[in-house]
A = this chain, B = another copy of it.
């Protein structure tokens, strides 16, 4: 297992973590500058932040600073109530692949969606099996496109408390079942003709917040292996948690044994960045972003 205690070479900042500074929206270019100043080598930006700053601007900034993108957030949201909705999701997801490609992201993270309308409090139906079937179809279709663009897709299983409104893929086992169904040979995972290893076309993003509770976590990480493990997202689970979405904790402030999970992943071939993704409306988003980034660096060394 890699030793993170001496530096933050493997730290990535998911830009949602500093979406706000002292409660005020922080533009992506400023986030990038602040990361670069601290020697942070990687980020994972959100599409809305990229859109606000302009794709070309962000792309140039990323390249000028030599930043890696541990991922791009996000594609997905496949289920819809009609063909028009599914077509809109298909088009939007293809644009997300193109943007991820332009930015040089390691993968496009997929938050697959739940019951159509549930996010707005008006679920169109209660048939989660139907949503899951639409997710399968949606990823299958997107996979053809992303393969040709050489952009790996990382399915992110979300915590079951988001099953209704955000993602009906809720365990690593379920995500891997889907990977095996749609990409049984882990296409691209074999060594290339030049001896280099290509990432698989389809894999998973492991966010400790979503999966830490799972009694099958270790065995499913073993099953995922090197080819399917595309991203590691870290934060912490607070007790009590007072908001289902925006009360994530800083690594070390909660109950997740993050190092143990990272150890399992590395034992099975993961060697990428540890990406900090914290949504925290009452705490971290109220602090100055420099303090938040410095804390991420410190906790990356002590608690990840």
Contacts and interface: CB of A to CB of B under 8 A. Distances in A.
Contacts of A255: 115, 118, 123, 126, 164
Interface stretch (A238-246, A277-285, A292-300): A238-246
B163 A239 contact: no
Interface string A120-160: 01010011100010000000000000000000000000011
Contacts of A115: 239, 255
Interface in A203-247: 212-215, 237, 239-242, 244
A215 B118 contact: no
Interface residues of A, number: 32
A213 B126 contact: no
A38 to B, nearest CB: 28
B244 A170 contact: no
Contacts of A12: none
A87 interface: no
A119 interface: yes
B170 A240 contact: no
B215 A170 contact: yes
> Which 6 residue pairs are nearest across A and B when measured between Cβ atoms?
A163-B213, A126-B257, A160-B213, A118-B239, A161-B161, A164-B255
